[in-house]
A and B are shown apart, each in its own frame.
Chain A
Amino acid sequence: NAGVTQTPKFQVLKTGQSMTLQCAQDMNHNSMYWYRQDPGMGLRLIYYSASEGTTDKGEVPNGYNVSRLNKREFSLRLESAAPSQTSVYFCASSEVRATGETQYFGPGTRLLVL
């Protein structure tokens, strides 16, 4: 199992450019998430998808859109990048077992917006 994979690993954009961050998981999880991590701040939820075909806003959704393409894939799109979107982006998926919930994170995408 590869777990949660993300592409690209690094990206530099100019203000106003658009891009899509890709995420895929091979653990057959229903729930998937996008977070951003900034220095001095905790991880913050951008969007989540509780199941295939559904998406909902998290704490900081402005400037982003998402697509839950199928059960495996959950993409994050920046339509017009701004310097404030410079951050490290993490995708995650989760499952609930008898022992409790477990979240698995991808390796992250480091984005710099100039």
Chain B
Amino acid sequence: EDQVTQSPEALRLQEGESSSLNCSYTVSGLRGLFWYRQDPGKGPEFLFTLYSAGEEKEKERLKATLTKKESFLHITAPKPEDSATYLCAVRMNTGFQKLVFGTGTRLLVSP
């Protein structure tokens, strides 16, 4: 069964305390892995798309990496405004438009 699992479910950090969020997947062929940020009461905001193992992308304090079985979202020296739920989604090779989402990691960064 195609599955996307995110861990941890929730993470609390002090401002400046770097950490990583995990997204592991078991899908029949990967056509892209997506990271989104979602603030309470709002729609997901696109962050990154990764396509192949070894690929990395960066945006400000965020860096996404991809292996054959998982992706990591590294947060370097986070600030309180980085507090949000981070969603991972995988587009599979079968079913053109099927995008399987994880349940997200809730990140809280305290001052």
Interface residues of A (CB under 8 A from B): 4, 31, 33, 40-45, 48, 50, 56, 58-59, 90, 92, 99-108
Contacts and interface: CB of A to CB of B under 8 A. Distances in A.
Nearest to A59: B98
Contacts, number: 59
A43 B44 contact: yes
Interface stretch (B14-22, B69-77, B99-107): B99-107
A42 B46 contact: no
Contact of B103 (A4, A41, A50, A101): A41
Interface residues on B, range: 20 to 34
A31 B97 CA distance: 9
A100 B51 contact: yes
**Listed residue (B36, B44, B49, B87) with the most chain A CB atoms within 10 angstroms of its CB:** B44
A109 to B, nearest CB: 10
B43 interface: yes
21 contacts: A31-B97, A42-B100, A42-B101, A42-B104, A43-B44, A43-B89, A43-B99, A43-B101, A44-B101, A45-B98, A45-B99, A50-B96, A56-B97, A101-B49, A101-B91, A102-B46, A102-B49, A103-B34, A103-B36, A105-B36, A108-B43
